[in-house]
Amino acid sequence: MAVINSPFESQYGFKGPGFSVDNLGNITATSIITNSAVTDSNIADFTVSEVSNSFAFANIVGSNPTITLARSKSYTFKITVPNLTFKIYQADQTTLYDVGLTHSDGSTGSEAQGKTSGTLAVAISNDAPNVLYYGNGIGNVFGTINIIDPAGQFSTLDINATTVATSSSTGALTIAGGAGIAGDLYIGGSLNIDGLGIQNISSPTNLELEAGNHIIVKIDGTSLGIIKSTGSTVPVVDTTINNSAIGEVTPSTAAFTSASVASLPTTDTSLTNKQYVDSTSLSLAIAFGL
């Protein structure tokens, strides 16, 4: 089958799935992989032959060995497998994976599959699945291809996916280990701390909590109150001030510079206020003619 090369085009010059160019010439692409012409060379990343109806890789021990490839990288396979042929399969080991394939005979994609000789270039895209397989033409001999993310450093990194994070293992970006951030951290949504045991926010010096309006205090989803510039509605219950018990049955002592009691006493142990004292004093004075 002849290979037909056709240009990608758009309203402003180019387009395709995951690819666009706006009227200012800005390019948006899901991933970009560049392939130069593949030549049949003895220098390749992998040299593949066949032994006893199995694939053998030079410098790798074992039949049909597992190999590891990284996303955004390109690899070449020098193949000499006259009886097996060489194909790349998806995880179901039935469907061919044709993305990023170029053979030294000039064929690409699905046409580059099933070769018995020559050099096959495989460009691993950024959205390649975690596992692929190489196999023979009839699909009964397989080896595993593990696909990993490449290690690297980036001056800037934009992640445009909008997947919502509902746990520590979901979202547009997930990190298996810890994350160290030397500068400031800005979060547009909620900050959730997930895990077992006691979670903590700590600082080797001072720790400042600031809110533009007020701070809402919740325990297990229940709101206890708010703290704002004019005061706090968080109740002070079953606690102490300077070791003086509040909200307990056992009597204690307390000393205050000033205090006010709004309600009138109703029992012998109730606190009195000025209105009660004044009215009681007046009544006694009248009764006793004082």
Is 103:119 a contact under the CB 8 Å cutoff? yes
**CB atoms closer than 10 angstroms to residue 284:** 10
Cα angle vertex 230, ends 226, 233, to 5°?
30
Q: Which of 112-121, 154-163, 227-236, 242-251 has the highest mean pLDDT?
A: 112-121
| pLDDT, average across residues 134-146 | 95
Token pair recorded at residue 105: 């005979």
Q: Where are the alpha helices (DSSP H) in the chain?
A: 274-288
pLDDT more than 90, % of the chain: 35
Cα angle vertex 246, ends 240, 247, to 5°?
135
Q: What is the pLDDT of residues 193-229, one digit of tens each?
A: 877 778 888 888 998 888 888 899 898 889 989 999 8
With cut-offs at 50, 70 and 90, classify the pLDDT of residue 129: very high
What single-letter amino acid sits at 266?
A: T
Residue ranges per structural domain of the chain: 1-30, 46-148, 250-288
Q: What is the largest CA-CA distance in the chain?
A: 127
Is 224:234 a contact under the CB 8 Å cutoff? yes
The HSE-up count of residue 108 (CA atoms within 13 Å, CB side) is 10
Query: With 0-12 CB in 10 A as exposed, 13-18 as middle and 19+ as buried, what is 45?
Result: middle
Would you say residue 169 has pLDDT above 70?
yes
How much is the CA Rg of the chain, to the nearest whole Å? 37
Would you say residue 69 has pLDDT above 60?
yes
Given this model, what pLDDT does residue 1 score? 45
Give the residue, 185 or 57, on which the prediction is more confident. Answer: 57
Q: What is the pLDDT of residues 53-68, one digit of tens each?
A: 999 999 999 999 999 9
Extract the runs of DSSP E, i.e. beta strands, from 93-251. Answer: 101-103, 117-123, 131-135, 142-148, 215-219, 222-228, 231-232, 239-241, 244-246
Range with the poorest average pLDDT among 181-190, 225-234, 281-290: 281-290
| pLDDT, average across residues 38-42 | 66
The structural architecture, per CATH, of the domain 46-148 is Sandwich (2.60)
Give the residue, 10 or 272, on which the prediction is more confident. Answer: 272
Given this model, what pLDDT does residue 88 score? 97
